[in-house]
Amino acid sequence: MTKPIWIKHASQLATLASNINGPRTKEAMSDLGIIEDGSMWVEDGIIQAVGSTKDLEKLYSGKLHEAEVVNAAGHLITPGLVDPHTHVVYGGSREQEFEMRLQGATYMDIMNTGGGIHATTRMTREATEGELIEQTTRRLDSFLAHGVTTIEGKSGYGMNVETELKQLRVMKKLQEQHMIDIVPTFMGAHAVPPEYKGREDEFIEYLIREMLPVVAEEKLAEFNDVFCEKGVYTPEQSERILEAGKRFGLIPKIHADEIEPYGGAELAARIGAISAEHLLKASEAGIKAMANSGTIACLLPATALYLREEAAAGRKMIDCGVPVAISTDCNPGSSPTTSMPLVMNLACISMRLTPAESLTAATYNAACAINRQEQVGSLEVGKQADIVLWNVKSYQELQYLFGVNHVKTVWKNGVKVV
Ligand SMILES: N=CN[C@@H](CCC(=O)O)C(=O)O
Ligand SMILES: [Zn+2]
């Protein structure tokens, strides 16, 4: 039997607890459920109590001597961060493209000449399962070191049955081997593979006929994602792929309006996608439609920065009532980072989210974007004990001192992992 953990005297315990079920919007994104001089009791990996140190001292007075005590005086405590959009499983790396872009090549130029997603697809097809596990483990360790305890992970660097399944099976194995939780998304439509160039509809048929049934049969994914972008998949093609996924029980997500306005946000709202990703160029009508449908905007400010693009209109989206989540977009091309703390900083700096909104976007709303809000994303009784103790005293300081990893201790399911 492991000892209970008693964390006490946190200067701010940002619980993110609320009576609102489902993604938070507008003012609710600023309510962090802060407890000053906060305290938590954890047993068997589950949060048993959350409150003031005084209250918990009374509640557990007969058991205090049994617990491992963590004195969090002067420290902020938050839920483990949730990253709802990653391409974490891939082979190789693409540092030469970074230099090409600095010299003027665009993301799409590189992709259209066989680089970008296609380059990573070649390297992922060549990599063995063991090599992918080894590379990905290093990234998962880095996520934990940055306070991230749950991530979503997409396939999409295979675009054939064999490699798409290899990526998803790697995620399944890592879910068993690694402390971090990985929520899998099938993204067979990440690009049009070169062998199908000009025959997009044939590839879509292949994806629907050969890939989706196996992914569903082996329960390898919960979501189905598509890159809806000019030169990749049209809104009509994206809809066909996502509707087919629905028939196999996969919930739609959409990479939408990243490079050009293309009706992706509107499509996400119309077909009931749980989230739409990127949205740098989302139209007014698309933003309104997402607010009405409650589709979560999963915004990726590190990607915008890395591609030297203007970030998505996060401030405006929140003001319009769109629930906003944020993510690293961890991938080898447009955002090779695992730092959610940096993403929280950028959400404030480049999208004008407030420090409180940014924390909600990286915890509770991020959990909603991957259907994990019942388990993680807030510090509430009965939830997983995924907890971060930070080397700062407040959430305001966490967002203010930017570009620094302030993580001191991370517990995943009540186990100290950092
Ligand atoms: N934009 C499409 N897909 C990824 C990038 C993948 C890559 O460049 O390897 C994204 O979300 O940013
Ligand atoms: Zn992505």
Segment 130-155 shows an average pLDDT of 98
In this predicted structure, the answer to whether residue 415 has a pLDDT above a threshold of 80 is yes
pLDDT in tens, 151-208: 999 999 999 999 999 999 999 999 999 999 999 999 999 999 999 999 999 999 999 9
Instruction: Answer yes or no: is the C-beta of 334 below 6 A from any ligand 1 atom.
Output: yes
Band of the pLDDT at 44, cuts 50, 70, 90? very high
Looking at the structure, tell me whether residues 41 and 160 fall in a common domain.
Answer: no
Give the dihedral sign, CA 276/280/285/287. positive
Instruction: Answer yes or no: is the C-beta of 53 below 6 A from any ligand 1 atom.
Output: no
Distance from Cα 62 to the centre of ligand 2, integer Å: 50
Looking at the structure, tell me whether residues 234 and 154 fall in a common domain.
Answer: yes
In this predicted structure, the answer to whether residue 350 has a pLDDT above a threshold of 80 is yes
Considering every ligand atom, which ligand is closest to the CA of 121? 1
* Degrees, nearest 5: CA angle 94-99-104: 120
Contact (Cβ atoms closer than 8 angstroms) between residue 19 and residue 346: no
Binding residues for 4-imidazolone-5-propanoate: 94, 157, 190, 258, 334
Domain range for 150: 82-370
Looking at the structure, tell me whether residues 174 and 237 fall in a common domain.
Answer: yes
Segment 307-314 shows an average pLDDT of 98
| Residue in the block written with tokens 């399911």 | 413
Segment 270-299 shows an average pLDDT of 98
Segment 118-125 shows an average pLDDT of 98
Binding residues: 85, 87, 94, 157, 190, 255, 258, 329, 331, 333-334
Distance from Cα 116 to the centre of ligand 1, integer Å: 8
Looking at the structure, tell me whether residues 111 and 239 fall in a common domain.
Answer: yes
pLDDT in tens, 232-257: 999 999 999 999 999 999 999 999 99
Q: What is the per-residue pLDDT for 1?
A: 72
In this predicted structure, the answer to whether residue 412 has a pLDDT above a threshold of 90 is yes
Q: Give the domain CATH number at 331.
A: 3.20.20.140
Alpha helices in 223-313 (DSSP H): 235-247, 264-271, 284-293, 301-306
* Degrees, nearest 5: CA angle 141-143-149: 100
Distance from Cα 27 to the centre of ligand 1, integer Å: 31
Looking at the structure, tell me whether residues 20 and 105 fall in a common domain.
Answer: no
For the CA of 229, the nearest atom of ligand 1: 1
Instruction: Answer yes or no: is the C-beta of 120 below 6 A from any ligand 1 atom.
Output: yes
| Residue in the block written with tokens 């970074």 | 98
Q: Give the domain CATH number at 58.
A: 2.30.40.10
Instruction: Answer yes or no: is the C-beta of 97 below 6 A from any ligand 1 atom.
Output: no
Binding residues for N-formimidoyl-L-glutamate: 157, 331, 333
Contact (Cβ atoms closer than 8 angstroms) between residue 144 and residue 412: yes
Distance from Cα 289 to the centre of ligand 2, integer Å: 22
Looking at the structure, tell me whether residues 91 and 225 fall in a common domain.
Answer: yes
Instruction: Answer yes or no: is the C-beta of 116 below 6 A from any ligand 1 atom.
Output: yes
Q: Which tops the pLDDT comparison, 392 or 21?
A: 392
Instruction: Answer yes or no: is the C-beta of 229 below 6 A from any ligand 1 atom.
Output: no
Task: Give phi and psi for 169, each to the nearest 5.
Answer: -70, -35
Looking at the structure, tell me whether residues 235 and 112 fall in a common domain.
Answer: yes
Domain boundary among 332, 351, 370: 370
Distance from Cα 277 to the centre of ligand 1, integer Å: 11
In this predicted structure, the answer to whether residue 82 has a pLDDT above a threshold of 80 is yes
Query: Which residue, judged by its Cα, is nearest atom 12 of ligand 1?
Result: 334
Looking at the structure, tell me whether residues 187 and 304 fall in a common domain.
Answer: yes
Looking at the structure, tell me whether residues 86 and 226 fall in a common domain.
Answer: yes
Looking at the structure, tell me whether residues 98 and 31 fall in a common domain.
Answer: no
Q: What is the per-residue pLDDT for 124?
A: 98
This prediction has a pTM of 0.99
Instruction: Answer yes or no: is the C-beta of 328 below 6 A from any ligand 1 atom.
Output: no
Band of the pLDDT at 84, cuts 50, 70, 90? very high
Looking at the structure, tell me whether residues 203 and 153 fall in a common domain.
Answer: yes
Instruction: Answer yes or no: is the C-beta of 87 below 6 A from any ligand 1 atom.
Output: yes
Distance from Cα 376 to the centre of ligand 1, integer Å: 26
Pocket perturbation via mutation, ligand 1, pick of 86, 87, 98, 300 by most ligand atoms within 8 A of CB: 87
Looking at the structure, tell me whether residues 18 and 73 fall in a common domain.
Answer: yes
Tokens of 127: 């990599």
Instruction: Answer yes or no: is the C-beta of 303 below 6 A from any ligand 1 atom.
Output: yes
Binding residues for Zn(2+): 85, 87, 255, 329
Count of structural domains, the chain: 2
What average pLDDT is seen over the chain? 98
Dmax of the chain from CA atoms? 71
For the CA of 303, the nearest atom of ligand 1: 12
Query: How many whole angstroms separate alpha carbon 81 and alpha carbon 273?
Result: 23
